[in-house]
Amino acid sequence: MSSPTRVRQPLPRSFFDRPAPEVAPDLLGEVVEHETPEGLVAVRLTEVEAYEGEADPASHAYRGRSPRNATMYGDPGHVYVYFTYGMHFCMNAVCLPAGRASAVLLRAGEVVDGVPLARHRRGPSTADRDLARGPARLTVALGVRGDEDGADGCAADSALRLCRGPDGASGVVATSPRTGVATAAEVPWRFYLSGDPTVSPYRRHVPKRRIRREDGSATE
């Protein structure tokens, strides 16, 4: 299975050498593409979230460096891929100079190249708008897994690239609190293209309730 290869210019490293809340809205309309033996899939970004490392209670780096988040401390423009909920991969663009953890979560987008391959990965009945509508769906559509952690998204010869889109963000950039986070939930660092059908629904974090049984034990 193959898809047409389009020549796009990777974003310069200087683009990412800034705090994540500055980079995040500028990523809207840009393109992430992944080339595998199956073919190329490219996604125009329509929704992202910023996370500010050790200064941000919602960031993976809030408690410092670990084997899991080490890529966040690397050079800007690299890709941080992590496994979550025991079943999904999510991907982030690393920001700021090496040694300072900051990243933008790529939450959703429109598949602009390789739609048949993306649908093969996501399921034959998946609507176009849903192919990469959510951070886990986006990585599935692109074929991104854990071994892509640390990929250089600014390198022209990288299989996983963060590229310049044709027109940048076409539409109104809106903001909201980040979706589903339990801490720092009020921080408005979710950025998306208002009205774009590929933007994922906003979901506020809902704490689990402990239910007391008659025998005195508790469950969630």
Query: Which one, of 17, 25, 44, 9, lies nearest residue 102 by Cα?
Result: 17
Cα–Cα distance for residue pair 173/181, rounded to 1 Å: 21
Dihedral sign of CA atoms 39, 192, 154, 76 in order: negative
Provide CB contacts within 8 A for 59, sequence distance 6+. 51, 52, 53, 101, 103
Whether domain 13-198 has CATH 3.20.20.140: no
- Tens digits of per-residue pLDDT, 104-118? 999 999 999 999 999
> In degrees, to the nearest 5, what angle opens at C-alpha 30 toward C-alphas 26 and 31?
150
In the chain, where are the structural domains located? 13-198
The two structure tokens encoding residue 163: 């590229």
What's the pLDDT band for 2 if we cut at 50, 70, 90? Answer: very low
pLDDT tens, residue by residue, 108-155: 999 999 999 999 999 999 999 999 999 999 999 999 999 999 999 999
pLDDT above 70 (res 171)? yes
The pLDDT score that the predictor gives to residue 219 is 41
Question: How many Å separate Cα 134 from the centre of its chain?
Answer: 8
CA–CA distance, 54 with 62 (Å, rounded to integer): 4
Question: Around Cβ 206, how many Cβ atoms within 10 Å?
Answer: 8
Q: CA 155 to CA 15: how far, in whole Å? A: 13
Query: What is the Cα–Cα distance from 81 to 93, expressed in whole angstroms?
Result: 9
Answer yes or no: is pLDDT of 208 > 80: no
Q: How far is CA 35 from CA 41, 134, 150, in A?
A: 7, 20, 16
For the question of whether the overall pTM of this predicted structure is more than 0.85, the answer is yes
Please answer whether residues 186 and 56 qualify as being in contact, where contact means their C-beta atoms are separated by less than 8 angstroms. Answer: no
